């Protein structure tokens, strides 16, 4: 990650942090002066089980994110990294690390907080048929909006941003000749990432922020953090919009299974486009 990208992403993360501190204080003051204010109880996402301890864990996750943004790579080294062959070993390790992070969070919720993630995230709230039907209804407009936004943002950034290369994982996938590495990347993108990222960002981060503020504020903050962790300037706005749609789907249904499947469909569609239309950027 080059210095300009790291700088912008770091600034956005710090702004979100500052907004959270001010927002939590402001919402607390409003609720003290207006005891009837219950904005955080709107929608179908259950947030009352979260406590201040969960807010501390969320803060720790954000600090880890900031730590990752300290790894600035010079432009020449960044370009060289993009040309590196996709490694099956590296992909396997990456998958294990993602699953480990998710497992630690789930263990914390179950063993320390005594919360059942299945109930907390509403996994059983909808039948499988309802989940698939809801995803079908949401996905077409979502794909159109995100792809249109991505095109507009790219045209806008071309005028002044120094490097608009694709995400390193995308470039590596396009250039790789290792079928095992490409298969692992598909598994990571279409199966592992949707589960891990939705549990962390929609299930936990969004839920905890909403507990102390409200749904709109929580959706915006969690969406920006979700976009930042992909470490790519050109994808920031489209990914933030995608995350907002996932939040809306979660609130509409009360089941994290819906945004998980939507996430999987979105990533799977992106991979299919790379495979069948490699000329597309």
Alpha-helix runs per DSSP H in the chain: 3-33, 52-68, 75-82, 88-107, 117-120, 128-157, 168-175, 179-187, 193-197, 207-212, 215-228, 236-253, 257-276
- Residue 84 reports pLDDT greater than 60: no
- Region label for 167, one of left (φ > 0), alpha (ψ between -120 and 50) or beta (otherwise): beta
Mean pLDDT over 66-77 rounds to 58
Token look-up 């943004």 returns 69
Tokens for 203, please give them.
């299930």
Contact (Cβ atoms closer than 8 angstroms) between residue 208 and residue 109: no
pLDDT at 175: 75
> Which of 94-98, 126-130, 131-135, 167-171 is the least confident region?
167-171
The whole-angstrom separation of Cα 129 and Cα 147 is 27
**Per-residue confidence at 109, pLDDT binned at 50, 70, 90?**
very high
pLDDT tens digits for range 192-214: 999 999 999 999 999 999 999 99
């Amino acid at each position: 990650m080059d210095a300009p990208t790291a700088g912008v992403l770091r600034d956005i993360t710090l702004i979100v942090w500052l907004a959270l501190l001010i927002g939590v204080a402001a919402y607390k003051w409003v609720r003290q002066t207006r005891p009837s204010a219950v904005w955080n109880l709107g929608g179908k996402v259950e947030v009352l089980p979260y406590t201040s301890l969960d807010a501390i864990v969320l803060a720790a996750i954000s600090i880890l994110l900031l730590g990752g943004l300290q790894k600035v790579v010079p432009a020449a080294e960044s370009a060289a990294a993009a040309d590196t062959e996709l490694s099956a070993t590296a992909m396997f390790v990456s998958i294990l690390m993602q699953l480990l992070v998710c497992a630690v969070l789930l263990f914390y919720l179950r063993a320390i907080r005594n919360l059942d993630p299945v109930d907390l995230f509403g996994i059983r709230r909808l039948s499988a048929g309802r989940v698939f039907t809801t995803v079908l209804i949401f996905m077409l407009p979502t794909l159109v909006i995100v792809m249109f936004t991505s095109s507009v943002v790219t045209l806008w950034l071309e005028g002044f941003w120094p490097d608009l290369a694709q995400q390193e994982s995308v470039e590596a996938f396009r250039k790789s000749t290792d079928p095992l590495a490409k298969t692992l990347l598909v598994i990571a993108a279409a199966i592992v990432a949707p589960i891990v990222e939705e549990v962390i960002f929609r299930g936990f981060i969004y839920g905890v922020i909403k507990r102390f503020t409200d749904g709109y504020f929580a959706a915006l903050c969690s969406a920006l953090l979700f976009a930042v962790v992909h470490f790519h300037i050109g994808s920031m706005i489209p990914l933030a919009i995608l995350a907002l749609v996932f939040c809306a789907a979660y609130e509409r249904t009360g089941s994290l299974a819906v945004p998980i499947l939507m996430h999987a469909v979105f990533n799977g569609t992106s991979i299919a486009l790379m495979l069948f239309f490699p000329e597309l950027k």
